[in-house]
Structure 1
Amino acid sequence: MIQIQTDAAFRKRDEKASAGIIFIKDKVQHPYATILDKCTDNHEAEFMALLFGLKTVQAELSKTEMLEIQSDSKLLVSSMQKRYAKHYQEYVDEILAMLPNPELTFFVWVKDSNNRGPHDLALRALKKD
């Protein structure tokens, strides 16, 4: 199974956002972080963070292997499970289009305290900007 752990950081005063991703394949972790394009809120940043993660590791994904995506964003996880988001549908559609096999992809909500790796990566990226 392949795992993507994702989180975003959002700074409201200047609408800057960043993403932190930990990609795990064959028990090896690969950390990634980036500054995101301008966001309007933290929810949008969470969707953009997952898109960044999928784009970054696209070549490593397989149509035959299960993919677990973890996030501490209840809105992101719920939207992806339902394949619908009232205000972020364009992100849901783009994410679904990037999945190698949506039927073998599982979205899992995790507590903030269990998502420290991607969280810390996102915060460090935001502080550098």
Structure 2
Amino acid sequence: MLEVYIDGASAGNPGPSGAGIFIKNEGSTESYSFPLGEMENHEAEFHALLKALEICVKEGASIVSVRSDSSAVVQAVERQFVRNKKYQPFLSEILHTITEFDLFFIKWIPSKENKQADLLARKAIHLN
């Protein structure tokens, strides 16, 4: 099982943005920082999840457990619904991608439990 921590960050709303992904896999860890260009914070959060799912698919994961401090992203995936239609394409791609896994979990966590992914997302902002 891959334990995946994600975060998206923007310097301004919109502004330079980045995605941070921290993956725990049976004692080993992987860290990723992806610059995302100019976008809003919620968009960066959705992009972080999409990037994380792409990595998990490439690694051939069958069980994926994602943790995020973005209640908007977690609720959108859990409810399979977004109020703001701007995020519908992201949600559609996410819902399609998670069918690649035998089991998929997503859980909201407080920011204090997501520090590693937050640092990686902030690092990615500076890579723009």
If the TM-score is normalised by the length of the shorter chain, which range does it land in? 0.7 to 0.9
State the alpha-carbon separation in 1 of the partners of residues 31 and 118 from structure 2: 11
- Match for residue 44 of structure 2? 45
Aligned to 2:75: 78
Equivalent residues of 1:69, 1:107 under 8 A apart: yes
SS at match of 2:83: coil
Q: For residue 120 of structure 1, what is the aligned residue in structure 2?
A: 119
Kindly state the Cα deviation for residue 14 of structure 1 after the two structures are TM-superposed.
6.1
Secondary structure of the residue aligned to 2:126 is helix
- Partner of 2:81: helix, strand, or coil? coil
Question: What amino acid is aligned across from residue 5 of structure 1 in structure 2?
Answer: Y
TM superposition score normalised by structure 1:
0.87
Question: Which deviates further from its counterpart, 89-98 or 49-58?
Answer: 49-58
Q: Which residue of 1 aligns with 2:9?
A: 9
Q: Which has the higher strand share?
A: 2
- Please report how far the alpha carbon of residue 45 of structure 1 lies from its aligned counterpart in structure 2 after TM superposition: 0.9
Q: How many residues align?
A: 125
User: What TM-score does the superposition give when structure 2 sets the normalisation length?
Assistant: 0.88
* Amino acid in structure 2 at the alignment position of 1:51: L
1:67 to 53, 64, 70: 64
Compared CA separation, residues 13 and 107, structure 1 to 2 (3 A): closer
Hey, what's the Cα distance between the residues in 2 that align with 1:53 and 1:67?
10
Q: Helix, strand or coil for the counterpart of 2:38?
A: coil
Question: Percent identity, aligned pairs only?
Answer: 28
Partner Cα distance (1:127, 1:113) in 2: 22
Structure 1: runs of 5 or more not aligned = none
Could you say if the C-alpha distance between residues 104 and 57 of structure 1 is closer, same or farther in structure 2, counting changes exceeding 3 Å? closer
Contact 2:13–2:41 (8 Å) recurs in 1: no
Secondary structure class of the residue paired with 2:56: helix
